[in-house]
């Protein structure tokens, strides 16, 4: 048994030396040195790559140059089928006149469009102010309304380029009151 124990001790010592990367065993008289260290045991996991040294040659297939990257096609300008945004269509200051019961006076709409929410103010030359207008814009029809004491002012008209024209009514309509008409042009 002692022979087997001695062989086992020698094998374990050689394994230990191999793992430590040494070339000589503790008992160098029994184990002469080798010329190269033993290979390390295999490691599981993804392979580890090393960066090439300046003296190494790198195969051409591993060199990636900017010219090797495929070009991305530039978009070409083509007419868009998307309708213009409401912001571009209604936002701004609109100056015009409003005709009511045979008389005419100036009116100014100050309109905003923030994320599709239309709001604004209508200023009449008579001093009347419809502040807090809320609106909707569908197709070319713009509808604005403003709650007032006892009713609602409604401005409904079409936008054609920089012209907003239509009717103004008060709901409920006062006895004998006809709808007013207005036309306003957007300022530059």
Block mean pLDDT (10 aa), the chain, length 188: 62 59 50 56 58 52 49 49 52 94 92 91 90 90 84 91 93 77 92
Q: Would you state the pLDDT for residue 187?
A: 92
On whether the CB atoms of residues 179 and 167 are closer than 8 A, the answer is: yes
Q: Would you state the pLDDT for residue 87?
A: 44
Q: Which residues contact 97 (CB under 8 A, 6 or more apart)?
A: 104, 105, 106, 107, 182, 183, 184
Q: Which residues contact 160 (CB under 8 A, 6 or more apart)?
A: 140
Q: Would you state the pLDDT for residue 120?
A: 94
> Which of 3, 40, 7, 10 minimizes the C-alpha distance to 25?
10
Q: Would you state the pLDDT for residue 133?
A: 93
Residue 95, number of CB atoms within 10 A of its CB:
13
Cis (ω within 30 of 0) for the bond into 172?
yes
Q: Would you state the pLDDT for residue 17?
A: 53
160 three-class SS: strand
Domain positions in the chain are 1-45, 86-186
Q: Does domain 86-186 have CATH number 2.40.128.120?
A: yes
**Cα angle for residues 105, 111, 113 (degrees, 5° grid):** 165
Q: What are phi and psi of 86, to 5 degrees?
A: -65, -30
């Amino acid at each position: 048994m002692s022979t087997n124990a001695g062989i086992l001790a020698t094998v374990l010592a050689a394994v230990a030396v191999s793992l430590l990367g040494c070339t000589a065993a503790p008992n160098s008289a029994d184990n002469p040195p080798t010329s190269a260290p033993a290979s390390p045991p295999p490691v599981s996991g993804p392979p580890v790559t090393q960066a090439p040294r300046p003296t190494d040659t790198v195969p051409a297939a591993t060199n990636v140059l900017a010219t090797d990257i495929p070009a991305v096609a530039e978009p070409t300008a083509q007419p868009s089928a998307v309708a213009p945004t409401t912001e571009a269509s209604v936002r701004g200051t609109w100056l015009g006149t409003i005709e009511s019961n045979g008389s005419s006076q100036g009116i100014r709409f100050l309109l905003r469009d923030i994320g599709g929410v239309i709001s604004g103010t209508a200023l009449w030359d008579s001093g009347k102010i419809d502040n807090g207008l809320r609106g909707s814009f569908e197709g070319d029809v713009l509808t604005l309304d403003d709650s007032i004491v006892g009713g609602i002012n409604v401005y409904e008209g079409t936008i054609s380029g920089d012209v907003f024209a239509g009717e103004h009514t008060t709901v409920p309509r006062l006895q004998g009151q006809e709808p007013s008409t207005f036309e306003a042009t957007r300022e530059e």
